[in-house]
Amino acid sequence: MTIAIDMSQLVTAEARASAALADAKSVAKQAIAAQMTAAREAFVTVLPGQDMVYLAKEAEATAYLADADPDIAHYPLLSAEVGVTAPSAYELAQIWVNMSSIWRGAAASLEKIRLMAVDAIEVATSVDEVSAAMADFNAALSNGGDNAA
């Protein structure tokens, strides 16, 4: 009796390690995306189109503050929110410009953390290296990017 073995069905240790590495990288990238989403949500309202509203508010506030003799009628977003968030258009414009600056700083720190983590995961050659990259990512995210190198 002869037993036929289809050698193409055998999985080598190298193939298993390669598949495990690909899976670890995929899971890590998904975790990074989820954690970055949560970190960004601490700074912004998550609604469809809200990012465009924030950009428009920043542009309108900057233009208002630069205008030597601003007419509130030419600034519809400011006009709509005066009396809700701040008592005057000037104060509201200051708030919007300052909040944009705060967001820009936070976004830069978060983006550096994200990019460094994704790069470390891309070049990882083992599951242990992916785990180390995720540990570094989590540590950097926990301390707000203060130690992101």
pLDDT digits (tens, 9 = 90+) for 74-133: 999 999 999 999 999 999 999 999 999 999 999 999 999 999 999 999 999 999 999 999
In contact, 137 and 148? CB cutoff 8 Å: no
pLDDT at position 10 is: 74
Q: What residue segments make up the domains of the chain, in order of their start? A: 15-142
Q: Looking at residue 109, what is its pLDDT?
A: 96
Look at residue 57 and tell me whether its pLDDT is greater than 60: yes
Please write the tens of the pLDDT for every residue from 116-144: 999 999 999 999 999 999 999 999 999 87
pLDDT category of residue 146 using cuts at 50, 70 and 90: low
- The DSSP secondary structure of 38-93, one letter per residue, reads HHHHTTS---TTHHHHHHHHHHHHHHHHH-SS--GGG-HHHHHHBTTTBSSHHHHH
pTM for the full model?
0.79
Torsion-angle region of 83 (φ positive above 0: left; ψ -120 to 50: alpha; else: beta):
left
For residue 149, pLDDT over 80 is answered with: no
pLDDT in tens, 1-47: 788 777 677 778 898 999 999 999 999 999 999 999 999 999 889 99
